[in-house]
Amino acid sequence: MPVLIDTVSNTPKTGAPPPLYKKREPIYPKLVHGRFRMIKWAVLVATLAVYYILPWLRWDRGPGVPNQAVLVDFAEARFFFFFIQLWPQEVYYFTGLLVTAALTLFLVSALFGRLWCGYACPQTVWTDLYIVVERLFEGDRNARMRLDAAPLSLNKAWRKGGKHLVWILVALVTGGAWVFYFQDAPTLFGQLFSGQAPVTAYLSVGILTFATYMLAGTMREQVCTYMCPWPRIQGAMLDEHSLQVTYRKDRGETRGPHKKGETWAGRGDCIDCLQCVVVCPMGIDIRNGAQMECINCGLCIDACDEVMDKVGRPRGLIAYDTDAAVAARLAGTRPVYKFVRSRTVYYAVAMTLVGSVMLFGLLTRSPMAMDVLRDRNPEYITLSDGAVRNGYTVQIMNRSIRPEVYFLEFHGPHGAHMRTVGQTHQGPISVALSADGQRTLRVFVTVPPSDHAHHRDHSEPAEFRLISQGGKRLEKATVFLSSGEDE
């Protein structure tokens, strides 16, 4: 066997090298009752209800437009959200939403720690749901540990088998609900069972079923510890004034077993009962302080409060608290809670700013839209009589849920007149658009020679004007090009 050399001290090493791989420690979280468990149940029911019910809500938008309240329509390239309807050109609203959400997450983390991880993250919610199923078949912590240690028997087989079967069913429903967001839910529901749904639908259901089963059933805390980047990023969000699930070591230490009737003087309130450890879904000991693995779910607070009630000490040995407050109490000074800090102010301002800009844009958004693209090759055409013509491609969109008739006008150099392909009359072009419809027009603008016999600019300002029957106007600036020479 080769001798290992410590390259720092350049001396032979003693002892075996640490292992390259770590075996997974099984975790059997115990059921706990209390305030935070109640909040978590409520959030679980609410988020799952939203997830499963949302695609089934209807929202009447009139004929020719989907009546699903929330629909990501890839085929028609539309996003419907109740009264909002977005086109692909408006994807910046999603960018804004994501930026706002990220900043909100930063702010909430800086103030209250990992609320998202502990309560709202799908990984947490579905893991909780899967543990409910697990408890149903295998019992609570101790029963589960006994069952795992027991040799294979009929009892163990049906309990384990039943658990996995229900897990897979839950996963199937989860994956199944996901695809309803992308097509008409009632139609797709029928298609899924009759085998007529698109291959991508079955594929998506399959992938999500597998992912749900793996992540919530078997991977659980490994996802948070090893796969998710957020626990590592949050280190930059938190500081000593952030509220986190905290073991108040100023009150708990010195810990040790306590017999009934003994005095509490000269010792801490922690009786080392390990209840905070056995209920932890992440398998950590909160008394070691803030840890990357801790998702701040608050279940150890419930467990500890229960114990404190039993031994007749005040609740809150484990509580939402800050490192600064603990340090202050240890030093014998009054703890100060600082919610207004430079980072919370920055996050709040940035969040409000981005959110307001996006909200303003959404509220003042017009259902009529137009894009103008000027021909660049050739830039302009000189006609046989010396007139100059420019070509434009004009896309006109009706983002409302009613059919509309718009009138297109051109305002530019004196004497300019426009026509489009197939147009039979002079004057503004009328464009009839269906609900949620669009049309692309080739428009040609001609300026007669008499009007530019004098010197003219190579590029003259011009604009297309779109007017709805209701009188709404929309202008798009462009230019009219010519040779710029006296002819």
Partner 1 sequence: MVHNDKDEVTGINTTGHEWDGIRELDNPLPRWWLWIFYACIAFAIGYWILMPAWPGLHGYTHGLLAKSDRAQVAVELKALRAQRGAEGASLVNASLEQIEADPKLQAYALAAGASVFGDNCATCHGAGGGGGKGYPNLRDDVWLWGGTPEDIEHTLRVGIRSGHPNARMSQMPAFGRDQIVTPDQVNDLTEYVVALSHRKANAAAVARAAPVFQAQCSVCHGPAGLGNQAVGAPNLTDRDWLYGSDRASIHSQIWNARGGVMPTWEKRFDTATIKALAVYVHANASGK
Q: Which residues would be at the binding site for partner 1 (CB under 8 A)? A: 4, 6-9, 13, 17-24, 222, 225-226, 375-378, 381-386, 389, 391, 419, 421-422, 424, 439-440, 442, 444, 446
Of 439 and 465, the one with the shorter C-beta distance to partner 1 is 439
3-state secondary structure of 349: helix
126 is written with which tokens? 């579905």
> What H or E segment, with its residue span, contains residue 392?
strand 388-398
Nearer to partner 1, 187 or 440 (CB): 440
Cα separation, 239 vs 113, in Å, equals: 9
| Token pair 């709404």: residue | 472
- Residues in Cβ contact with 420 at an 8 Å cutoff, skipping those fewer than 6 apart: 429, 441, 442, 443, 444
**Smallest distance, Å, CB 421 to partner 1?**
4
**Nearer of residues 18 and 332 to partner 1, judged by Cβ:** 18
Residue appearing with tokens 């307001």? 356
- How near is the Cβ of 114 to partner 1 at its closest, in Å? 20
104/225 with CB nearer partner 1: 225
How near is the Cβ of 4 to partner 1 at its closest, in Å?
A: 6
At 169, is the secondary structure helix, strand, or coil?
Answer: helix
Cβ(170)–Cβ(137) under 8 Å? no
Spatial separation of the C-alpha atoms in residues 168 and 123, rounded to whole Å: 16
> Measured from the CB of residue 432, what is the shortest distance to partner 1 in angstroms?
9
Distance of CA 58 to the CA centre of its chain: 23
Residue whose CB is less far from partner 1, 210 or 226: 226
- 8 A C-beta contact, residue 110 and residue 221: no
- In the complex, the smallest distance separating the C-beta of residue 47 from partner 1, rounded to whole angstroms, is 28
Helix/strand/coil for 11: strand
- Rounded Cα distance between 131 and 297, Å, is 15
Query: Which one, 23 or 455, has the nearer CB to partner 1?
Result: 23
91 versus 383: smaller Cβ distance to partner 1: 383
The Cα–Cα gap between 254 and 372 comes to: 75
Give the SS3 label for residue 49.
helix
Q: Which is nearer to partner 1, 92 or 210 (CB)?
A: 210
Closest separation between CB of residue 181 and partner 1, Å?
28
Tell the smallest beta-carbon distance from residue 321 to partner 1 (Å). Answer: 21
Structure tokens of 415? 């004497």
- Give the residue among 339, 280, 271 at the shortest CA–CA distance from 310: 271
